[in-house]
Structure 1
């Protein structure tokens, strides 16, 4: 396995500066954010460390040269829009077109992995939007197959606050839905960008996906999460999760990382594990965000030699 981090936490740095930081801290790789340049829609969005819309042969050579210079590789090109959301058809098509560009860029750069969300219209049931899901994702998966690229879907529910209810902004939140997706689009070119913290939130065994779907593990996030029991006892599980849980960096939440990596290695996974920092305790300054990456590296390196 290789230890990396998601570059969204360092939006003010260039790709070269991100790779140098990763090398200085001892990381092996980074998941490079590739949002279209522009205003962010939410926290950790809108970050562009590789602009795939302008990636020509010269730009691709520069990206490859930077990785070689710093000894840090790009594990995936990441972009997390909601291509099934309730926005206009034009807005959704822009996001879909950008995902196609990511697939092409990932092939051109020989990264061969794209990480993203499936998306969801939060105001419709799964069955009501299933045909929209198929119409959107069959062409994307076909494009990935043709390009020799794998798509890793993150399992985040995107259902934390009032404006994301009732259904949340991502379909791919549970094994039952993953299996339905893979049955409908039976391709080895897509699987999971797996984050254990989301199963902690949903009170599920976060090691089961390793055992049940080892062949579907394309990319892995390392993010921790703490269930605040007193707040949960006050608000209950049917309240917005933002009222009773706290995202944390690895080692400061409820994930047992020894158990996590024990099952991950048993499953034969030998790919990237990228720290995703969404811990507000470390957001107050650039220095704190850098500290979160160094601290996460030093904690997780005991499991990834």
Structure 2
């Protein structure tokens, strides 16, 4: 892996216009960008900059492409809030498909090559009852992606277990379909009673490695952040939580991962978090490349594991 894979989502820069968010990420020096392909969303730090792509005009997309040309690569996050792909109401399903397919076309028109989508549990239905519909739907979306040169990546969240998620990705069996591994979402594979415990942390990191290896070449994309142990809160600054990043990055190197390494943070000190996260990942990419995971004699356990050891605070 190389630092040219480092990217950041516009979700990292709340309370800013899209233009201001892009300017910040360019100034910090991220090679890539993930654009939220929707508007009106917010997280704990404020409203999130994004752009509806599915209804954008050709002129709007041309202008956006020019703005995004400052980045070496662009990915998008398709709409997922209030837009379930799998629902008992066919009108809702149709509108979600319209928005996601439009996002795929808009991604291509704005210079992007990949979009992240979410699966969801269909109300009143078991996973087994919905399985065939999910496989067919993602195959069809991948075909749309292939016609526009855009890979479609389902994000970790649902199906809920590591094994089920990997099985879905492989069963779709389309060259333009793969996985977006959101590292924080894998924390939810840990049972409730173990979350926040040492055993839970071990299981979380084991599951993360196992999922990387199960996905192998079908792992197209990553969303990177950390999980705070005591309350199991994700989207923290990388290196400040319980995710074993040196182990994770080493695993990515071993499986030959060459996709985006995209920060997806929810921190109050926006610019500092972005700079710290980028520097931390740059250091780990170097460690992973050299495959040097040697403990430093006399170093603290945090330092030996490559954690961010400073006074950074977060909410």
Query: What is the TM-score normalised by the length of structure 1?
Result: 0.76
Matches within 5 A, 1:1-305: 1=2, 2-35=5-38, 37=39, 39-40=40-41, 47=48, 49-68=50-69, 71-81=70-80, 82-86=83-87, 88-121=89-122, 123-156=124-157, 170-171=158-159, 173-183=161-171, 185-201=172-188, 202=190, 203-204=203-204, 205=206, 206-228=208-230, 244-247=231-234, 248-278=236-266, 282-283=267-268, 288-304=269-285
What is the aligned residue count?
A: 265
How far apart in 1 are the matches of 2:67 and 2:169? 37
Shift of 1:42: 7.3
Distance in 1, matches of 2:143 and 2:119, equals: 15
How far does the alpha carbon of each residue in 1:51-98 deviate from its partner, in whole angstroms, 9 at most, with x for none?
313434433332232233xx3245311025152455743233222111
Q: Is the Cα contact below 8 Å between 2:35 and 2:50 reproduced in 1? A: yes
Q: Report the TM-score when normalising by structure 2.
A: 0.74
Aligned residue for 1:17, secondary structure, equals helix
1:222–1:191: structure 2 CA closer, same or farther, 3 Å change rule?
A: same
User: RMSD of the TM alignment (CA)?
Assistant: 2.7
Contact preservation (8 Å) 1:55, 1:105? yes
Unaligned runs of 5+ in 1: 157-169, 229-243
Helix, strand or coil for the counterpart of 2:283? coil
